[in-house]
Copies of this chain bind each other. A is one copy, B any other.
Amino acid sequence: MEHLSKSQALEILKNLIAIKSVNDHEKTVATYLQKLLAQYDIKSEIKPIRGDRANLIAEIGQGKPVLGISGHMDVVSPGKLEDWNSNPFEMTEKDGMLYGRGITDMKSGLAAIVITMINLHAQDLPKKGTIRLMATMGEEVGEEGSSYFLKDGSMKDVDGLVIAEPSGYNIGYAEKGSMDIKFISKGKASHSSMPENGYNAIDALMNLLIEANTTFRDDQIKGDSIGPLVFNTTLIKGGTQVNSIPDYAEAEANVRTIPEYDNQKVIATLHNLIKKYNDQGAQISTDIYMNEGPVLMSPKNPLITPTKKLMEKYTTETVHVAPISAVTDASNLVQNKPIEFPFIVAGPGNNTPHQINENLDKQMYFNFIDIYEKLFIDFLEK
Protein backbone atom coordinates (compact mmCIF):
# COMPACT_ATOMS: atom_id res chain seq x y z
CA MET A 1 0.00 0.00 0.00
CA GLU A 2 1.26 3.39 -0.84
CA HIS A 3 -1.91 5.46 -0.61
CA LEU A 4 -5.16 5.07 1.17
CA SER A 5 -8.00 4.63 -1.30
CA LYS A 6 -10.75 7.18 -1.80
CA SER A 7 -13.21 4.93 0.00
CA GLN A 8 -10.80 4.62 2.93
CA ALA A 9 -10.43 8.42 2.99
CA LEU A 10 -14.21 8.79 3.04
CA GLU A 11 -14.55 6.15 5.75
CA ILE A 12 -12.11 8.04 7.99
CA LEU A 13 -13.96 11.32 7.45
CA LYS A 14 -17.28 9.61 8.12
CA ASN A 15 -15.92 8.22 11.40
CA LEU A 16 -14.67 11.64 12.46
CA ILE A 17 -18.03 13.27 11.70
CA ALA A 18 -19.78 10.60 13.77
CA ILE A 19 -17.90 11.69 16.92
CA LYS A 20 -19.96 14.49 18.46
CA SER A 21 -16.99 16.60 19.49
CA VAL A 22 -19.13 19.69 20.13
CA ASN A 23 -16.86 21.80 22.36
CA ASP A 24 -15.86 18.53 24.05
CA HIS A 25 -14.82 14.92 23.47
CA GLU A 26 -11.66 15.75 21.51
CA LYS A 27 -10.02 12.89 23.42
CA THR A 28 -12.42 10.50 21.68
CA VAL A 29 -11.28 11.98 18.35
CA ALA A 30 -7.63 11.76 19.42
CA THR A 31 -8.05 8.13 20.49
CA TYR A 32 -9.61 7.31 17.12
CA LEU A 33 -6.73 9.03 15.29
CA GLN A 34 -4.12 7.38 17.52
CA LYS A 35 -5.48 3.93 16.65
CA LEU A 36 -5.65 4.83 12.98
CA LEU A 37 -2.06 6.10 12.91
CA ALA A 38 -0.89 3.05 14.86
CA GLN A 39 -2.39 0.78 12.19
CA TYR A 40 0.08 2.41 9.79
CA ASP A 41 2.97 2.28 12.20
CA ILE A 42 2.91 5.93 13.28
CA LYS A 43 3.28 6.63 16.97
CA SER A 44 1.36 9.45 18.57
CA GLU A 45 0.81 10.88 22.01
CA ILE A 46 -2.45 11.97 23.53
CA LYS A 47 -1.97 15.01 25.76
CA PRO A 48 -4.87 15.03 28.22
CA ILE A 49 -6.26 18.40 29.22
CA ARG A 50 -9.25 17.45 31.41
CA GLY A 51 -12.22 15.09 31.24
CA ASP A 52 -12.67 13.87 27.67
CA ARG A 53 -10.54 16.67 26.28
CA ALA A 54 -7.03 16.30 24.90
CA ASN A 55 -4.55 17.35 22.23
CA LEU A 56 -2.78 14.85 20.00
CA ILE A 57 0.79 15.04 18.71
CA ALA A 58 2.46 12.71 16.19
CA GLU A 59 5.56 12.76 13.99
CA ILE A 60 7.00 11.13 10.90
CA GLY A 61 10.52 11.56 9.55
CA GLN A 62 13.33 12.99 11.62
CA GLY A 63 15.59 15.97 12.13
CA LYS A 64 15.41 19.40 10.54
CA PRO A 65 13.60 21.10 9.02
CA VAL A 66 10.38 20.61 10.98
CA LEU A 67 7.06 21.27 9.30
CA GLY A 68 4.18 21.72 11.68
CA ILE A 69 0.74 20.70 10.44
CA SER A 70 -2.29 21.46 12.54
CA GLY A 71 -6.03 21.05 12.74
CA HIS A 72 -8.60 21.16 15.48
CA MET A 73 -10.76 18.27 16.60
CA ASP A 74 -13.75 20.15 18.02
CA VAL A 75 -16.81 21.37 16.15
CA VAL A 76 -19.52 23.88 16.96
CA SER A 77 -23.08 23.00 17.94
CA PRO A 78 -25.27 21.83 15.06
CA GLY A 79 -28.11 24.10 16.23
CA LYS A 80 -31.62 22.72 15.78
CA LEU A 81 -31.43 19.24 14.29
CA GLU A 82 -34.77 19.64 12.55
CA ASP A 83 -33.35 22.46 10.44
CA TRP A 84 -30.88 20.06 8.82
CA ASN A 85 -31.73 18.02 5.74
CA SER A 86 -29.75 15.12 7.20
CA ASN A 87 -28.33 14.00 10.54
CA PRO A 88 -25.36 16.34 11.11
CA PHE A 89 -23.38 13.54 12.76
CA GLU A 90 -23.87 11.08 9.94
CA MET A 91 -21.85 12.05 6.89
CA THR A 92 -24.22 12.15 3.94
CA GLU A 93 -23.42 12.43 0.25
CA LYS A 94 -25.63 14.05 -2.35
CA ASP A 95 -24.69 15.17 -5.86
CA GLY A 96 -20.98 15.06 -5.14
CA MET A 97 -21.31 17.07 -1.94
CA LEU A 98 -20.67 15.79 1.56
CA TYR A 99 -22.81 17.02 4.47
CA GLY A 100 -22.27 17.00 8.22
CA ARG A 101 -21.25 19.15 11.19
CA GLY A 102 -17.54 19.84 10.84
CA ILE A 103 -17.30 18.58 7.25
CA THR A 104 -15.85 21.98 6.28
CA ASP A 105 -14.69 23.21 9.70
CA MET A 106 -12.56 21.17 9.87
CA LYS A 107 -12.74 17.42 10.09
CA SER A 108 -12.00 17.16 6.36
CA GLY A 109 -8.81 19.21 6.81
CA LEU A 110 -7.88 17.17 9.87
CA ALA A 111 -8.53 13.90 8.01
CA ALA A 112 -6.57 15.12 4.98
CA ILE A 113 -3.40 15.95 6.93
CA VAL A 114 -3.59 12.68 8.89
CA ILE A 115 -4.10 10.67 5.69
CA THR A 116 -1.19 12.55 4.09
CA MET A 117 1.04 11.51 6.98
CA ILE A 118 -0.05 7.90 6.53
CA ASN A 119 0.53 8.04 2.76
CA LEU A 120 3.99 9.62 3.15
CA HIS A 121 5.04 7.24 5.90
CA ALA A 122 4.01 4.25 3.77
CA GLN A 123 6.39 5.55 1.08
CA ASP A 124 9.09 6.05 3.72
CA LEU A 125 8.85 9.78 3.28
CA PRO A 126 10.01 12.37 4.07
CA LYS A 127 13.60 11.47 3.36
CA LYS A 128 14.65 14.66 5.11
CA GLY A 129 13.10 16.50 8.00
CA THR A 130 10.11 15.96 10.23
CA ILE A 131 6.39 16.42 9.88
CA ARG A 132 4.76 17.13 13.22
CA LEU A 133 1.00 16.82 13.55
CA MET A 134 -0.52 19.02 16.24
CA ALA A 135 -4.23 18.24 16.57
CA THR A 136 -5.94 20.55 19.00
CA MET A 137 -8.90 20.65 21.34
CA GLY A 138 -11.01 23.69 22.16
CA GLU A 139 -10.21 25.74 19.06
CA GLU A 140 -13.74 26.99 18.61
CA VAL A 141 -13.89 28.41 22.10
CA GLY A 142 -10.73 30.46 22.63
CA GLU A 143 -8.06 28.37 20.87
CA GLU A 144 -7.33 26.66 24.17
CA GLY A 145 -5.60 23.54 22.84
CA SER A 146 -2.99 25.39 20.78
CA SER A 147 -2.07 27.48 23.81
CA TYR A 148 -0.73 24.25 25.38
CA PHE A 149 1.36 23.48 22.28
CA LEU A 150 2.75 27.02 22.52
CA LYS A 151 3.53 26.58 26.22
CA ASP A 152 5.00 23.06 26.08
CA GLY A 153 7.55 24.07 23.42
CA SER A 154 6.08 22.01 20.56
CA MET A 155 6.39 25.01 18.24
CA LYS A 156 9.93 26.01 19.28
CA ASP A 157 11.85 24.08 16.58
CA VAL A 158 9.12 24.35 13.95
CA ASP A 159 10.35 25.90 10.67
CA GLY A 160 7.03 26.23 8.89
CA LEU A 161 3.35 25.76 9.70
CA VAL A 162 0.35 24.63 7.68
CA ILE A 163 -3.03 25.03 9.34
CA ALA A 164 -5.64 22.97 7.50
CA GLU A 165 -8.58 25.26 8.26
CA PRO A 166 -11.03 25.64 5.36
CA SER A 167 -9.71 28.00 2.70
CA GLY A 168 -10.79 26.14 -0.39
CA TYR A 169 -8.41 26.91 -3.25
CA ASN A 170 -7.19 30.06 -1.55
CA ILE A 171 -4.36 30.73 0.85
CA GLY A 172 -4.45 32.63 4.11
CA TYR A 173 -1.32 34.26 5.53
CA ALA A 174 -2.80 36.57 8.12
CA GLU A 175 -5.85 36.64 10.33
CA LYS A 176 -7.80 38.96 12.51
CA GLY A 177 -7.57 38.86 16.26
CA SER A 178 -10.53 37.74 18.30
CA MET A 179 -12.01 38.83 21.58
CA ASP A 180 -14.90 37.30 23.48
CA ILE A 181 -16.41 39.78 25.87
CA LYS A 182 -19.13 39.25 28.43
CA PHE A 183 -21.21 42.26 29.42
CA ILE A 184 -23.11 42.25 32.70
CA SER A 185 -25.84 44.81 33.34
CA LYS A 186 -27.43 45.23 36.75
CA GLY A 187 -30.64 47.13 37.34
CA LYS A 188 -33.42 47.24 39.90
CA ALA A 189 -36.55 45.10 39.82
CA SER A 190 -40.04 46.53 40.13
CA HIS A 191 -43.54 45.70 38.94
CA SER A 192 -43.82 46.47 35.22
CA SER A 193 -46.67 48.90 35.92
CA MET A 194 -44.30 51.00 38.04
CA PRO A 195 -41.01 51.15 36.09
CA GLU A 196 -40.11 54.38 37.86
CA ASN A 197 -39.44 52.26 40.96
CA GLY A 198 -36.93 50.11 39.08
CA TYR A 199 -34.13 50.29 36.50
CA ASN A 200 -34.35 48.22 33.33
CA ALA A 201 -31.09 46.24 33.00
CA ILE A 202 -32.04 44.98 29.51
CA ASP A 203 -32.61 48.50 28.15
CA ALA A 204 -29.23 49.68 29.43
CA LEU A 205 -27.46 46.73 27.85
CA MET A 206 -29.27 47.09 24.52
CA ASN A 207 -28.45 50.80 24.35
CA LEU A 208 -24.76 50.07 24.91
CA LEU A 209 -24.61 47.25 22.37
CA ILE A 210 -26.44 49.20 19.67
CA GLU A 211 -24.07 52.13 20.15
CA ALA A 212 -21.10 49.72 20.01
CA ASN A 213 -22.47 48.45 16.69
CA THR A 214 -22.56 51.99 15.32
CA THR A 215 -19.10 52.83 16.67
CA PHE A 216 -17.28 49.71 15.50
CA ARG A 217 -19.00 49.51 12.12
CA ASP A 218 -17.95 53.04 11.20
CA ASP A 219 -16.35 53.25 7.75
CA GLN A 220 -13.63 55.33 9.34
CA ILE A 221 -12.21 52.14 10.83
CA LYS A 222 -10.16 51.28 7.79
CA GLY A 223 -8.79 47.79 7.42
CA ASP A 224 -6.17 47.92 4.67
CA SER A 225 -4.18 44.89 5.82
CA ILE A 226 -6.80 42.29 6.76
CA GLY A 227 -10.18 43.87 6.23
CA PRO A 228 -12.59 45.59 8.58
CA LEU A 229 -12.99 45.27 12.32
CA VAL A 230 -16.00 43.10 13.13
CA PHE A 231 -18.13 43.48 16.27
CA ASN A 232 -21.15 41.27 16.93
CA THR A 233 -23.40 40.58 19.87
CA THR A 234 -23.84 36.81 19.71
CA LEU A 235 -25.52 35.93 23.01
CA ILE A 236 -28.01 37.79 25.18
CA LYS A 237 -30.15 36.88 28.16
CA GLY A 238 -32.07 38.88 30.72
CA GLY A 239 -35.18 39.21 32.84
CA THR A 240 -37.17 36.81 35.00
CA GLN A 241 -40.85 37.35 34.17
CA VAL A 242 -42.84 39.43 31.74
CA ASN A 243 -44.43 41.68 34.36
CA SER A 244 -41.24 42.58 36.25
CA ILE A 245 -38.71 45.22 35.26
CA PRO A 246 -35.51 43.17 34.80
CA ASP A 247 -32.74 43.72 37.33
CA TYR A 248 -30.16 41.64 35.43
CA ALA A 249 -29.11 41.08 31.85
CA GLU A 250 -25.99 39.77 30.22
CA ALA A 251 -24.65 39.52 26.71
CA GLU A 252 -21.59 38.24 24.95
CA ALA A 253 -19.92 39.76 21.93
CA ASN A 254 -17.21 38.55 19.60
CA VAL A 255 -14.84 41.13 18.14
CA ARG A 256 -12.49 40.46 15.23
CA THR A 257 -9.62 42.88 15.58
CA ILE A 258 -7.17 44.17 12.99
CA PRO A 259 -3.65 45.58 13.24
CA GLU A 260 -5.03 49.10 12.58
CA TYR A 261 -7.57 48.81 15.44
CA ASP A 262 -6.25 46.24 17.83
CA ASN A 263 -7.54 44.59 20.98
CA GLN A 264 -6.27 47.36 23.26
CA LYS A 265 -8.03 50.02 21.22
CA VAL A 266 -11.29 48.05 21.28
CA ILE A 267 -11.06 47.78 25.07
CA ALA A 268 -10.44 51.51 25.43
CA THR A 269 -13.40 52.37 23.17
CA LEU A 270 -15.73 50.02 25.06
CA HIS A 271 -14.66 51.44 28.40
CA ASN A 272 -15.55 54.91 27.20
CA LEU A 273 -18.98 53.77 25.99
CA ILE A 274 -19.69 51.92 29.23
CA LYS A 275 -18.62 54.91 31.30
CA LYS A 276 -21.10 57.06 29.39
CA TYR A 277 -24.02 54.73 30.21
CA ASN A 278 -22.90 54.10 33.78
CA ASP A 279 -22.73 57.85 34.32
CA GLN A 280 -26.44 57.85 33.34
CA GLY A 281 -27.37 55.24 35.95
CA ALA A 282 -26.50 51.94 34.30
CA GLN A 283 -24.31 49.40 36.10
CA ILE A 284 -22.52 47.63 33.28
CA SER A 285 -19.27 45.71 33.66
CA THR A 286 -17.24 43.53 31.29
CA ASP A 287 -15.24 40.33 31.40
CA ILE A 288 -12.88 39.92 28.44
CA TYR A 289 -12.44 36.17 28.67
CA MET A 290 -10.81 35.57 25.28
CA ASN A 291 -8.29 37.98 23.90
CA GLU A 292 -6.25 36.86 20.87
CA GLY A 293 -4.36 39.44 18.85
CA PRO A 294 -4.30 39.64 15.06
CA VAL A 295 -1.72 37.60 13.08
CA LEU A 296 0.05 39.24 10.15
CA MET A 297 2.70 37.23 8.28
CA SER A 298 4.26 38.09 4.93
CA PRO A 299 2.21 37.22 1.82
CA LYS A 300 5.58 36.34 0.26
CA ASN A 301 6.61 33.70 2.80
CA PRO A 302 8.15 30.51 1.33
CA LEU A 303 5.01 28.35 1.64
CA ILE A 304 2.84 30.65 -0.48
CA THR A 305 4.07 30.17 -4.06
CA PRO A 306 4.35 26.34 -4.00
CA THR A 307 0.87 26.04 -2.52
CA LYS A 308 -0.56 28.44 -5.10
CA LYS A 309 0.95 26.45 -7.97
CA LEU A 310 -0.40 23.18 -6.60
CA MET A 311 -3.89 24.61 -6.09
CA GLU A 312 -3.98 26.03 -9.61
CA LYS A 313 -3.96 22.48 -10.98
CA TYR A 314 -7.35 21.88 -9.39
CA THR A 315 -9.23 25.09 -10.07
CA THR A 316 -9.84 27.41 -12.99
CA GLU A 317 -10.57 30.27 -10.64
CA THR A 318 -8.01 32.67 -9.23
CA VAL A 319 -6.26 31.41 -6.13
CA HIS A 320 -6.47 34.31 -3.72
CA VAL A 321 -3.61 34.90 -1.33
CA ALA A 322 -5.32 36.92 1.33
CA PRO A 323 -5.84 37.42 5.02
CA ILE A 324 -8.56 35.19 6.39
CA SER A 325 -11.44 36.37 8.47
CA ALA A 326 -11.42 33.52 10.97
CA VAL A 327 -9.15 33.17 13.96
CA THR A 328 -7.23 29.91 14.02
CA ASP A 329 -4.79 28.22 16.31
CA ALA A 330 -2.17 30.37 14.55
CA SER A 331 -2.94 33.13 17.04
CA ASN A 332 -1.09 30.93 19.54
CA LEU A 333 1.18 28.80 17.36
CA VAL A 334 3.01 31.56 15.44
CA GLN A 335 3.52 33.80 18.44
CA ASN A 336 7.07 35.20 18.45
CA LYS A 337 7.74 33.94 14.93
CA PRO A 338 9.24 36.54 12.54
CA ILE A 339 7.06 38.03 9.76
CA GLU A 340 8.85 35.96 7.09
CA PHE A 341 8.05 32.68 8.93
CA PRO A 342 6.62 30.12 6.45
CA PHE A 343 2.94 30.00 7.33
CA ILE A 344 -0.26 29.26 5.49
CA VAL A 345 -3.85 28.51 6.26
CA ALA A 346 -4.95 26.10 3.53
CA GLY A 347 -7.49 23.34 3.71
CA PRO A 348 -10.59 21.85 2.11
CA GLY A 349 -13.81 23.70 2.75
CA ASN A 350 -16.16 26.43 1.65
CA ASN A 351 -18.19 29.20 3.24
CA THR A 352 -20.51 26.97 5.29
CA PRO A 353 -18.66 26.60 8.60
CA HIS A 354 -20.99 26.73 11.62
CA GLN A 355 -24.00 26.68 9.33
CA ILE A 356 -26.98 24.39 8.95
CA ASN A 357 -26.26 21.79 6.22
CA GLU A 358 -22.52 22.49 6.41
CA ASN A 359 -21.03 20.88 3.33
CA LEU A 360 -17.95 20.18 1.20
CA ASP A 361 -17.24 19.25 -2.38
CA LYS A 362 -16.08 15.64 -2.15
CA GLN A 363 -13.48 16.02 -4.89
CA MET A 364 -11.88 18.97 -3.07
CA TYR A 365 -11.28 16.68 -0.10
CA PHE A 366 -9.40 14.20 -2.29
CA ASN A 367 -7.51 17.00 -4.04
CA PHE A 368 -6.20 18.42 -0.77
CA ILE A 369 -4.74 15.03 0.16
CA ASP A 370 -2.75 15.28 -3.10
CA ILE A 371 -1.84 18.92 -2.55
CA TYR A 372 -0.60 18.31 0.98
CA GLU A 373 1.57 15.34 -0.03
CA LYS A 374 3.43 17.32 -2.67
CA LEU A 375 3.57 20.51 -0.58
CA PHE A 376 5.00 18.89 2.56
CA ILE A 377 7.74 17.06 0.66
CA ASP A 378 8.51 20.14 -1.43
CA PHE A 379 8.93 22.22 1.74
CA LEU A 380 11.11 19.72 3.57
CA GLU A 381 13.30 18.41 0.79
CA LYS A 382 13.98 21.37 -1.45
Q: Does A206 contact B (CB under 8 A)?
A: yes
Separation of A203 and B213 alpha carbons in the complex (Å) = 8
Say whether A195 faces chain B, with CB atoms less than 8 Å apart: yes
Considering only residues 217-254 of chain A, those with a C-beta below 8 Å from chain B are 230, 232-247, 249, 251-254
Given the contacts A213-B203, A234-B239, A256 and B351 also touching, CB distance less than 8 Å? no
Asked if A339 is an interface residue, CB under 8 A from chain B, the answer is no
Q: How far is the CA of A189 from the CA of B76 in the complex (A)?
A: 12
Please tell me if the beta carbons of A192 and B245 are within 8 angstroms of each other in the complex. Answer: no
Q: How large is the interface on A (under 10, 10 to 19, 20 to 34, 35 or more residues)?
A: 35 or more
A197 at the B interface (CB under 8 A): yes
Given contacts A79-B247, A203-B232, contact A326 B239 (CB under 8 A): no
Taking CB atoms and an 8 Å cut-off, the chain A residues in 91-119 that contact chain B are 105
Q: Are B180 and A243 in contact (CB under 8 A)?
A: yes
> Is the CB–CB distance between A234 and B354 below 8 Å?
no
Is the CB–CB distance between A191 and B252 below 8 Å? no
Residue of A180, A230, A244 contacting most chain B CB atoms (<10 Å): A244
In the bound complex, how far is the Cα of B239 from the Cα of A76, in angstroms?
13
Whether the Cβ atoms of B256 and A193 lie closer than 8 Å is yes
Give the nearest-CB partner of A324 in chain B.
B193
Contact in complex: A192, B232 (CB < 8 Å)? yes
A209 within 8 Å of B (CB atoms)? yes
A147 at the interface (CB under 8 A from B): no
Give residues in A with beta carbon < 8 Å to B.
23, 76-77, 79, 105, 140-141, 176, 178, 180, 189-195, 197-198, 200, 202-203, 206-207, 209-210, 213, 230, 232-247, 249, 251-254, 256, 290, 324-327, 351, 353-356
